[in-house]
Structure 1
Amino acid sequence: METRKSVFLSIAVSYFCIFYVSSVKASLSFDFYEASCPQVELIIRNAVSSSSSDDPSIPGKLLRMVFHDCFVEGCDASLMLQGNNTEQSDPGNRSVGGFSVIESAKRVLEVFCPGTVSCADIIALAARDAVEIAGGPRIRIPLGRRDGMVSIASNVRPNIVDTSFTMDEMVKLFATKGLSLLDLVILSGAHTIGTAHCNTFRGRFQQDAQGNLKLIDQTLDTNYANQLMKRCPVNAQPFVTVNIDPETSMLFDNQYYRNVLAHRVLFQSDSVLLSDNKTRQIVEDFANDRKLFFDNWAVAFVKLTSVGVKTDEEGEIRRTCAATNV
């Protein structure tokens, strides 16, 4: 009960921080496009919904995209820029998908509201809608982000979570983004949907003298490990993927936290949530209460999509998301 109270207290503090940030960033507001492009949210939602109907993996891709964008250069669509040595060219981003959904929404918006809606806002709204379409909560996020003009591959690795990270490494990285330990546990819940390539968790296994994989990470459930080795043998093709949530892979719910407790999670960075008493208790709370997770998610997602935002005269409103205007 005491831990539950501390979680709710953290929520209250988080809400205070969010509205404080919004008041400082005068151009970031919930009604930013009310006069200039009132149909913006409908257009983006239609693009996400249509794409998700054709490809059920889209929600997971869009949710991953917002993390990889916001953690590098802030939430400014720097990930969308194409070219040599841009963020997209870093190996950590080569498997990020969903770009066509953002570009599709942008093309429609340029017809109805030319030069008005940033690619950064489209990414944030598309990820928000992806969560709801996959069964998660619908939340409001403030808008008014502008697009960045810098995208450098060497900025990626120091600013994104590696799947082999320890708890301390994750805490330090999240802290640089203004995100707390509670935010870390909440946002890890994004792994309730999506897929991952075999190489992202290969470090939990080792190849023996006969060329077969064997489990070396004893924090992983043995039966689950055997399933993974069958799906991802040594000679698995690079395009082979595994559902991150083995139970409800297409549904945004709190199953991820149950998987953590059952030691049935793909990444070491997920397993380490049990290595700290504070994070373990929060994991248990979320595993037992979907509404508690959803309420917390609403707060943490707003914080995530407010990381390093550019507003006012910073950046630009791109005409196309793949290139700057100059």
Structure 2
Amino acid sequence: MGKYRKDSLLGFLILLIFDLATFNSSVAQLTFDFYAASCPSAEFIIRNTVQSASLNDPSIPGKLLRLVFHDCFVEGCDASILLKGNGTEGSDPANLSLGGFSVIDSVKRVLEIFCPGIVSCADIIAIAARDAVEMTGGPQVRIATGRRDGRFSAASNVRSNMADTTFSIDAMTKLFSSKGLSVNDLVTLSGAHTIGTAHCSTVRDRFKEDSRGRLTGIDPSLDKLYGEELMRECLAGGDLSSALVSNDPQTSLSFDNQYYKNLVVHKGLFQSDSALVEDERTKNMVEDFATSQERFFSSWVESFRKLTSIKVKTGDAGEVRRSCSSFNR
């Protein structure tokens, strides 16, 4: 009986080690300085292009950061969000407001001149988002590279894999857990809302609109004065589907911990933001990041690395596209 138990335990451990090795194999194949020999100027070219685009359009960093989330949460970090065509991820209504594509395309065109067929669009998205954060005052993050571009993109996969602005903590933790991300990652990565803008239609649930288009605040979790400010901005912008408001009304162009300070005083833009400071599982972390930008930045480095490693494709499990918007032929 003892020998049987030992053999069973040994077999279980072997299977467990095998499963863990299989699970981590794709991530393990990502390496730092992946392009050191094949395209040593790759990250320099990406950084310069992002910086130039951001100087011309300050909204670019927020768009690039949002883009990496929408890519990695659906099919993993494989640039499937960039593929154009009927029925692709980009055609889903949830992705129609995405931006930053021209920056990625510009980077790819330059890289195809200097290093044809070497640098994947998936790596470009991840590095560009990383650089966008740093350029707006955020922390430096060294991420491994070697991602391959996926060969599949379907709009039908988007809704079940993306968080909605009305999500509860339960819904968000369930979604993040399915991507290998923890509650800590959820709170940390929500800090991406410290830069960028959103359409007023995404906060429609926090207001009541009458037949004349007038808005009335109905969400008690939202600071009254902030709610009134949002209503004025949205109405001044015309159609709620096109009017824009800043994710962070205080420092919308700076990657800092102001987002968490806003949450503590009930000035979170989305219902999903407000939920973070109302739930005991996340409230303490929000308050901690609100008082310490250093702790937020430290946590961001680790969580961003995890985000950009979701279901990556490496080796033969993908391709390096010549054009980010279409498969290789």
TM score, norm. by length of structure 2: 0.91
Q: Secondary structure at the match of 1:214?
A: strand
Q: Secondary structure at the match of 1:242?
A: strand
Distance change >3 Å, CA 148–CA 23, structure 1 → 2: closer
2:10 aligns with: none
Query: What is the number of residues matched between the two proteins?
Result: 308
Tell me the CA shift for residue 142 of structure 1.
Answer: 0.5
2:12 aligns with: none
1:9 aligns with: none
2:319 corresponds to which of 298, 302, 316: 316
Does residue 285 in structure 1 map to residue 282 in structure 2?
Answer: no
Sequence identity percentage: 60
Report 1:224-303 matches (<5 A): 224-233=226-235, 236-237=238-239, 238-303=241-306
Distance change >3 Å, CA 54–CA 166, structure 1 → 2: same
1:124 aligns with: 126
2:63 aligns with: 61
8 Å CA contact 1:206–1:214 kept in 2: the answer is yes
2:109 aligns with: 107
> Aligned partners of 1:84, 1:174: CA distance in 2, in Å?
28
Q: Secondary structure at the match of 2:216?
A: strand
**Unaligned runs of at least 5 residues, structure 1:** 1-18
2:11 aligns with: none
Residue 278 of structure 1 aligns to which amino acid in structure 2? R
> Aligned partners of 2:257, 2:190: CA distance in 1, in Å?
11
2:183 aligns with: 181
Distance change >3 Å, CA 314–CA 263, structure 1 → 2: same
CA RMSD in angstroms comes to 1.6
Does residue 193 in structure 1 map to residue 232 in structure 2?
Answer: no
Tell me the CA shift for residue 145 of structure 1.
Answer: 0.3
> Aligned partners of 1:258, 1:144: CA distance in 2, in Å?
37
Does residue 41 in structure 1 map to residue 40 in structure 2?
Answer: no
Tell me the CA shift for residue 278 of structure 1.
Answer: 2.9
Q: Secondary structure at the match of 1:131?
A: helix
Tell me the CA shift for residue 302 of structure 1.
Answer: 0.2
1:142 aligns with: 144
Residue 55 of structure 1 aligns to which amino acid in structure 2? D
Q: Secondary structure at the match of 1:317?
A: coil
Deviation by residue 1:151-208 (Cα, 9 ceiling, x = unmatched): 1111111111100001100000001100000000000000000000010011111124
Tell me the CA shift for residue 209 of structure 1.
Answer: 6.0
Residue 29 of structure 2 aligns to which amino acid in structure 1? S
Tell me the CA shift for residue 233 of structure 1.
Answer: 2.6
**Unaligned runs of at least 5 residues, structure 2:** 1-20
Tell me the CA shift for residue 211 of structure 1.
Answer: 4.3
1:6 aligns with: none
Distance change >3 Å, CA 253–CA 78, structure 1 → 2: same
Runs of 4+ residues over 3 Å off in structure 1: 19-26, 208-211
Residue 305 of structure 2 aligns to which amino acid in structure 1? V
Distance change >3 Å, CA 235–CA 64, structure 1 → 2: closer
Deviation by residue 1:28-66 (Cα, 9 ceiling, x = unmatched): 101211110111110000110000000000000000000
Residue 319 of structure 1 aligns to which amino acid in structure 2? R
Does residue 155 in structure 1 map to residue 164 in structure 2?
Answer: no
1:71 aligns with: 73
1:31 corresponds to which of 30, 33, 39: 33
> Aligned partners of 1:279, 1:214: CA distance in 2, in Å?
29
